[in-house]
C-alpha cells in the first residue's frame, strides 16, 4: 500500500477526538438511564420494588443457566468427539495387529509348506 493511501485511511485527530466524545456520550447515557431507573424504583412501593428485583434476578439467572447449559453441551460434544476418535484409533490399531498376525501366520505356513515340499522332494529322490 502506498503512503498516500495510508494517509487517506489513517485516523485523523478529529476522528480520534470524535470517537472519544462518542464513548463519553454513551457512558453518560448509561449513567442517566441508571439514575432514571433508580428514581423510578424509588417511587414504587417497597413490595413492587422487590417483585421487580426478583424478576430481574430470575431473568439474569435464566440467562446464566442457558449459558452454562450451552457450555455443558459443547463440553459433552467435545468429550464424545474425543471418545469416538480414540475408539476409531483403537479399532485401527486392532486391525493392524490382526493384519500383522495374519502376515506372520502366512509366512509360517509358507515356510512349513516349503519345508514339507523340500522334505517330500528329498524323499522322492
Average pLDDT on 5-33 reads 81
Chain segment 37-96, per-residue pLDDT in tens: 888 888 888 888 888 888 888 888 888 888 888 888 888 888 888 888 889 999 999 888
Instruction: State how far the Cα of 82 lies from the Cα of 88, in Å rounded to an integer.
Output: 10
Instruction: State how far the Cα of 118 lies from the Cα of 7, in Å rounded to an integer.
Output: 90
- Is residue 8 over pLDDT 70? no
Cell numbers linked to 96: 493392524
Cell numbers linked to 11: 485516523
Give the pLDDT of residue 45: 85
Amino acid at each position: 500500500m502506498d503512503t498516500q493511501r495510508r494517509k487517506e485511511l489513517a485516523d485523523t485527530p478529529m476522528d480520534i477526538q470524535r470517537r472519544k466524545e462518542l464513548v463519553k456520550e454513551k457512558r453518560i447515557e448509561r449513567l442517566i438511564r441508571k439514575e432514571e431507573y433508580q428514581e423510578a424504583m424509588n417511587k414504587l412501593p417497597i413490595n413492587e420494588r422487590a417483585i421487580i428485583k426478583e424478576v430481574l434476578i430470575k431473568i439474569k439467572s435464566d440467562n446464566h443457566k442457558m449459558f452454562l447449559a450451552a457450555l455443558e453441551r459443547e463440553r459433552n460434544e467435545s468429550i464424545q468427539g474425543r471418545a469416538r476418535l480414540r475408539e476409531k484409533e483403537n479399532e485401527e490399531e486392532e486391525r493392524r495387529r490382526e493384519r500383522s498376525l495374519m502376515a506372520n501366520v502366512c509366512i509360517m505356513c509358507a515356510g512349513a509348506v516349503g519345508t514339507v515340499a523340500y522334505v517330500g522332494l528329498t524323499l522322492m529322490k
